[in-house]
Structure 1
Amino acid sequence: MYLIAEQPYIKVERRVTSIEQVDIEHERTMYLYNEKIITKHREFPIKDILDMSYRLVGVKGGLLYLHTSKGVYSYIVKSSPEHFIQMYKMHIKK
């Protein structure tokens, strides 16, 4: 198993108290290997990945979608994942 590409993403944790709401951003990294894609809490075998897509949201980033045989998973990204998607399509999806 070898690393092909990395993509930073964020997880937003919302904390609500009786007087305020606070959003906490946790920076994480998604890893594309020749056999699987790994995030902090999930592993997707390459055979289960059907496609990847990206949708720009506002001016600060967008959503990276992993289309899998078990559903679609979305990840908030602040930088374009085009390189990550291209590497997937070049090395995996042929």
Structure 2
Amino acid sequence: MLSDHSIGYIEVKREIDFYYQMQHIEMQFELQLNLGGITSARHQFDLEHVIDVSHKPFSFGGGILYLHTNQGVFPYNIQVDPTYFIHAFKSLKSKK
């Protein structure tokens, strides 16, 4: 039985402060992969609705993890190598 897998991602929120200065606030969340599907802070995808997971690395580290779903492509800004997460997804998907 597959245990839960997760990978951290960052969302950047932009807002104007009291002095009309642009502030960038980084918030950290996790993508959770389990037998039911993939869950983020804002979305939940059944495993059968996730078609693929891909990764675009940045030269300075990190990158973007893409969830290809029947509702569109959802990007997640990550700071770590997602190879284990992608392999876990593909392994789980091939069993269904």
TM-score (norm 1): 0.89
Q: Report deviation, 1:5.
A: 0.7
Q: Match for residue 90 of structure 1?
A: 91
Distance change >3 Å, CA 59–CA 49, structure 1 → 2: same
Which secondary structure state, in structure 2, belongs to the residue aligned with residue 92 of structure 1? helix
Distance in structure 2 (CA, Å) of the matches to 1:93 and 1:25: 35
Q: Report deviation, 1:35.
A: 1.4
Q: Report deviation, 1:79.
A: 0.8
Q: Report deviation, 1:3.
A: 4.2
Q: Match for residue 5 of structure 2?
A: 5
Kept after mapping to 2: 8 A contact 1:7/1:84: yes
Kept after mapping to 2: 8 A contact 1:12/1:24: yes
Aligned residues: 94
Q: Match for residue 21 of structure 2?
A: 20
Distance in structure 1 (CA, Å) of the matches to 2:69 and 2:23: 32
Distance in structure 2 (CA, Å) of the matches to 1:58 and 1:22: 25
Moved over 3 A (4+): none
Name the amino acid aligned to 2:35: N
TM-score (norm 2): 0.87
Q: Match for residue 71 of structure 1?
A: 72
Distance in structure 1 (CA, Å) of the matches to 2:15 and 2:94: 39
RMSD: 1.8
- Give me the identity figure in percent: 28
Which secondary structure state, in structure 2, belongs to the residue aligned with residue 93 of structure 1? helix
Counterparts of 1:29-68 in structure 2 under 5 Å?
A: 29-68=30-69
